[in-house]
A = this chain, B = another copy of it.
């Protein structure tokens, strides 16, 4: 059995209250007693039981992080940044990867809720469904603690959204490409989440505003189940055999865009002379591929920073805006030449 505060108090010849005071630095302990107790604790390697502790306390200075897949490049970075910010402010992080199943998600959310976290951060927009019924679990959670959304938006009391305007960003990216003289663009996407659909709308609006005819509409949905660059390349190849019927590729994600690069290289065409390519997220992949990838920077660092700022204020009882929107920026590299 693990050693308890009671054991320590006995060995040290003091009461449990005194031991508790020593541990929690509550003051009012004589230096001699303090040292004695500290030594015993050290000697026996005593570690207070977090559950017993959590019972009485109100806040455990813990925040739950929920994401679908922590191995996804974008998510991994978001999680890392959030964790660092939280740690810097004295909060622990509890990370759960739920996958994409809605039921698993609800269970995880309840699980994390039962641990008396001070707040829950939902990383990515997969958590917001299109029907009110499916979002009920979020509303229920918000009854208990503030729910923070990273890169998603949901209007409800005690739910705070911090996001990048993916609609506008994608609109701008697509417009840039069209206005550089490329009307026939392949749009690649792999997620129908809140933000995934926003991007798509932004792309379509750019086509419309620039009077691109319907016949040039070329949109491909890649179901992410398989994964792997080779898969993506093969997928594009399959959908467009022979000479590609487009001169530009815009993808909702850098990984997809790299698939586009690989595809283009296989056809023997040149980038960006024959085909221009734009990715999304401005991840490390943009620097790994050749040529380096033009991509939309959705300012993840600014988002995470702002989100934690909002959270801390909310926990402190301050009134804060329910929704904060940043704007992304197109970072030009070698897969495009817009000048």
Closest to A232 in B: B287
Listed in ascending order, the chain A residues whose CB lies under 8 Å from chain B are 2, 45, 47-55, 69-71, 73, 76-77, 79-80, 83-84, 92-97, 99, 110-111, 113-116, 140, 143-144, 228-230, 255, 258, 261-262, 265, 284-285, 287-290
Q: Are A95 and B95 in contact (CB under 8 A)?
A: yes
Partner of A229, one of B50, B83, B111, B287: B287
Determine how close the nearest CB of chain B comes to the CB of A2; give it in whole angstroms: 7
Partner of A116, one of B49, B110, B261: B49
Q: Are B92 and A111 in contact (CB under 8 A)?
A: yes
Determine how close the nearest CB of chain B comes to the CB of A133; give it in whole angstroms: 15
CA A45 to CA B285, docked complex, whole Å:
44
**Chain B residues near A51 (CB-CB < 8 A):** 50-55, 115-116
Q: Are A284 and B116 in contact (CB under 8 A)?
A: no
**Chain B residues near A53 (CB-CB < 8 A):** 51, 114
**How many of these chains are in the complex?**
2
Query: When A97-B83, A115-B51, A116-B50 are in contact, do A288 and B229 touch as well, CB less than 8 Å?
Result: yes
CA A287 to CA B288, docked complex, whole Å:
10
CA A99 to CA B83, docked complex, whole Å:
10
CA A143 to CA B45, docked complex, whole Å:
10
Determine how close the nearest CB of chain B comes to the CB of A160; give it in whole angstroms: 21
CA A116 to CA B248, docked complex, whole Å:
55
Q: 8 more A-B contacts (CB under 8 A) besides A71-B80, A92-B96?
A: A50-B114, A51-B55, A51-B116, A70-B83, A84-B99, A94-B94, A258-B287, A288-B288
Query: When A50-B111, A228-B284, A265-B290 are in contact, do A79 and B83 touch as well, CB less than 8 Å?
Result: no
CA A248 to CA B32, docked complex, whole Å:
64
Between A and B, 21 residue pairs with Cβ closer than 8 Å are A49-B55, A49-B114, A50-B115, A51-B54, A51-B115, A70-B79, A70-B95, A71-B76, A71-B79, A71-B80, A76-B76, A80-B97, A93-B97, A94-B95, A95-B95, A255-B288, A258-B287, A262-B290, A288-B288, A289-B289, A289-B290
Identify the 10 closest CB pairs spanning chains A and B, nearest first: A51-B54, A71-B80, A229-B287, A95-B95, A50-B114, A290-B290, A76-B76, A71-B76, A51-B51, A50-B115
Partner of A290, one of B79, B110, B261: B261
Closest to A58 in B: B1
Q: Are A45 and B140 in contact (CB under 8 A)?
A: yes
**Chain B residues near A70 (CB-CB < 8 A):** 70, 76, 79-80, 83, 95
Q: Are A113 and B290 in contact (CB under 8 A)?
A: no
Determine how close the nearest CB of chain B comes to the CB of A81; give it in whole angstroms: 8
**Chain B residues near A113 (CB-CB < 8 A):** 47
**Chain B residues near A111 (CB-CB < 8 A):** 50, 92
Closest to A80 in B: B71
Partner of A284, one of B2, B69, B144, B229: B229
Partner of A288, one of B50, B71, B116, B285: B285
**Chain B residues near A2 (CB-CB < 8 A):** 144
Closest to A3 in B: B144
**Chain B residues near A76 (CB-CB < 8 A):** 70-71, 73, 76
